């Protein structure tokens, strides 16, 4: 066999080996193709989720010009910050007018302490509102002055800066519950509200009963303090469940519920920073501001002593590194 024949034979031999490799590894070839499709699909889904999340965040964004006690801290995972959480009764039971902020909580997120101090403020706390006299309930600040009035009043009353706010109406809480799905909480009181009975012990909360559970106060001997406790329990349970959800459809429902019912001065980038850089600070320490019930000029108020208020203020300031 001459050299040309050898080369031709060798070429055909290598070509045959090359073809036989893919023929023998057809499964591998299709696996690689399928993996490529799934990777592309995942990128598309991730892109859509990112776009939808940004769209929802943009829909909720609303800057409010309030009195600033300090410049807003950069959300870099190292600096502490505060958030005023407002739960309004607008939208509850079909209401469309601006109601009152029946839920008022101040969250101080502390990377140094690796926890979030969550202070609940009684809705009937007696405060002085500029232009409206000394005998006012703190939840009236929202009714009179909207979010701006609520933020300014809380800052003045607690002597603590409010960097950000999150406001959601009670109808939104119902829709958010529907999107997230049922959660379980430990209920410490046997009661019935709005035709729904809740046994003492572990109870399941969903969109059908969440308002009945979180809004009840008249059957609770603790009054509004008991209601605030239930609201904190449900809020914490919802947040924890949202963190575990991996369904694209569920996320879209959650985003829809949030964008339709929430307002905040946190931007999309701020939310991303909190979600990624403050995970170590998500252990919640619950604090309750307490007062004494008093009738003043025919109205029922919670009168908080200076010592009780100062104690709450100091806890928040410590968390904020002040």
pLDDT tens per residue, range 122-156: 989 999 998 888 889 999 999 899 999 999 999 99
Region 33-46: what's the mean pLDDT?
Answer: 51
Of residues 126 and 44, the one with the higher pLDDT is 126
Max avg pLDDT among 98-102, 131-135, 159-163, 262-266 = 159-163
pLDDT band at 261; cut points 50, 70, 90: confident
Bridge-based pairing state of the strands 262-264 and 164-169: antiparallel
- Convert 254-293 to b/e letters by CB count within 10 Å (16 or more is b): bbbbbbbbbbbbbbbebbbbbeeebeebbebeebbbbbee
pTM of the model: 0.76
pLDDT band at 43; cut points 50, 70, 90: very low
DSSP string, 41-59: HHHHHHHHHHHHHHHHHHH
Region 96-109: what's the mean pLDDT?
Answer: 77
For tokens 């929430």, the residue is: 262
H helices then E strands: how many in the chain?
Answer: 9, 14
Residue 88 CB neighbour total at 10 angstroms: 28
pLDDT band at 48; cut points 50, 70, 90: low
Region 30-37: what's the mean pLDDT?
Answer: 56
Q: Please tell me the predicted confidence (pLDDT) of residue 201.
A: 97
Q: Please tell me the predicted confidence (pLDDT) of residue 28.
A: 57
Q: Report which DSSP code applies to 125.
A: B
Q: Please tell me the predicted confidence (pLDDT) of residue 42.
A: 47
Please tell us whether the domain made up of 61-320 is placed in CATH 3.40.630.190: yes
Q: For residue 277, what are the contacts with CB-CB under 8 A and spacing of at least 6?
A: 75, 76, 77
Per residue in 192-245, pLDDT tens? 999 999 999 999 999 999 999 998 888 899 888 898 889 888 988 888 888 777
Q: Please tell me the predicted confidence (pLDDT) of residue 275.
A: 79
Q: Domain limits of the chain?
A: 3-49, 61-320
Bridge-based pairing state of the strands 164-169 and 81-88: parallel
Among the residue ranges 13-27, 72-86, 282-296, the one predicted with the least confidence is 13-27
Region 247-271: what's the mean pLDDT?
Answer: 82
**Model confidence at 72: pLDDT above 60:** yes
Region 2-24: what's the mean pLDDT?
Answer: 49
Region 101-123: what's the mean pLDDT?
Answer: 91
Give me 260's structure tokens.
């339709």
């Amino acid at each position: 066999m001459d050299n040309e024949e050898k080369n031709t034979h060798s070429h055909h031999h290598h070509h045959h080996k090359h073809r036989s490799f893919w023929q023998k590894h057809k499964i591998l070839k299709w696996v690689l193709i399928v993996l490529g499709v799934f990777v592309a699909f995942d990128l598309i889904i991730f892109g859509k989720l990112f776009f939808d999340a940004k769209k929802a965040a943009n829909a909720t964004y609303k800057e409010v010009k309030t009195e600033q006690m300090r410049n807003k801290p950069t959300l870099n995972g190292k600096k502490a910050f505060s958030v005023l959480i407002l739960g309004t009764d607008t939208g509850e039971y079909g209401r469309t007018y601006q109601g009152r902020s029946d839920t008022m909580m101040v969250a101080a997120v502390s990377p140094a302490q690796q926890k979030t101090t969550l202070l609940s403020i009684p809705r009937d706390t007696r405060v002085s509102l500029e232009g409206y006299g000394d005998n006012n309930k703190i939840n009236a600040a929202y009714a009179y002055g909207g979010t701006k009035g609520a933020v300014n009043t809380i800052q003045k009353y607690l002597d603590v800066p409010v960097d950000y706010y999150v406001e959601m109406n009670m109808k939104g809480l119902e829709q958010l519950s529907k999107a997230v799905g049922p959660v379980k909480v430990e209920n410490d009181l046997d009661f019935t509200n709005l035709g729904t009975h809740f046994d003492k012990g572990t109870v399941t909360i969903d969109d059908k009963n969440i308002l009945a559970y979180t809004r009840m106060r008249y059957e609770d001997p603790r009054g509004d303090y008991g209601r605030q406790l239930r609201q904190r329990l449900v809020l914490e349970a919802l947040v924890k469940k949202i963190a575990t959800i991996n369904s694209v459809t569920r996320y879209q429902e959650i985003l829809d519920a949030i964008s339709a019912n929430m307002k905040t001065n946190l931007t999309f980038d701020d939310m991303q920073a909190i979600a990624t850089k403050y995970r170590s600070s998500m252990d919640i320490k619950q604090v309750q501001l307490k007062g004494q019930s008093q009738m003043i000029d025919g109205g029922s108020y919670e009168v908080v002593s200076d010592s009780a208020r100062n104690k709450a203020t100091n806890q928040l300031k410590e968390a904020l590194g002040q």
